[in-house]
Amino acid sequence: MGQDVTLTASDKFELGAYRTTPTGTPRGTPRGAVVVIQEIFGVNHHIRTVCDRFAVQGYVAIAPAIFDRIERNFQSGYSEEEVAIARKFVAKPDWPAMLRDTQAAIDAVQDFGPVGIIGFCLGGSVAYAAATKLTGLSAAVGYYGGAIVRFADDKPTVPTQLHFGERDHGIPLSDVEIIRAKRPEVEVFVYDGAQHGFGCDERASYDKASAELARQRSLAFLAKHLAA
């Protein structure tokens, strides 16, 4: 459904991305665009599927390969060994570089209408940071971003929605409460019994009921705030 494209960041670095075009609207007319930010596993099958699903909803979707500065075209599965390798990419995260690459993706789809951003795991934190620092966005959604609590003093400039799992061993509920206290204007949802990665149907931690509810909330939120 989608295609691989090349983006150019503000520092002239070229990175890859996966982009889909809408199939769920009359004559393929976009209803806006969504930037999809990866987990630590790269722009893999799951992230490409997320983009494809947004295309069905009528959005142009683009997922920048924000690890290309470290290793081009990195993609990973979810075995214990693959997780260990993927974690090395975020031992010392370069947030400014990831945000430059995210801005390049935003800029690449602005001609299609209002732009939202959604991210998962590492991407959830990037999506929140983007909502506070980048331009060209109309809404932001973050799933189980472990670094969001570190950024919670920064106020988003666009409507923002966050999703967390109650049983996420990497994100204690005390962190979620800090975010809620510091950012009362942000929509925060916690899913009973859900673990980290509950929204990915390719992971052992997938929680179908929580994932479907979170997806419904995310789609409604984006539809509301990306309405032309």
Per-residue pLDDT at 29: 74
Q: Does the annotation count 192 as an active-site position? A: no
Q: What is the pTM of this model?
A: 0.96
Between helix 122-133 and helix 95-109 the angle, nearest 10°, is 70
Compute the distance between CA of residue 119 and CA of residue 66 in angstroms, rounded to an integer: 12
* pLDDT-flagged residues of the chain (< 70): 24-28, 228
Check if the beta carbon of residue 33 is closer than 8 Å to that of residue 60: yes
Kindly report, residue by residue over 13-66, the tens digit of the pLDDT. 999 999 999 976 665 678 899 999 999 999 999 999 999 999 999 999 999 999
196 a catalytic residue:
yes
Using the Cα atoms of residue 54, residue 55, residue 60 and residue 66 in order, give the sign of their dihedral: positive
Q: Rg of the chain's alpha carbons, rounded to an integer?
A: 16
* Domains contained in the chain, CATH given: 3-225 (3.40.50.1820)
Beta strands (DSSP E) in 21-159 are 33-37, 60-64, 115-120, 139-143
Tally of CA atoms within 13 A in the half-sphere of 115 that contains its CB:
24
Average pLDDT across the chain, whole number: 96
51, 196, 200, 207: which is the annotated catalytic residue?
196
Pairing of strands 60-64, 3-8: unpaired
121 assigned to active site: yes
Q: What pLDDT score was predicted for residue 23?
A: 75
Name the catalytic one among 68, 107, 168, 175.
168
| Catalytic pick among 107, 121, 163, 207 | 121
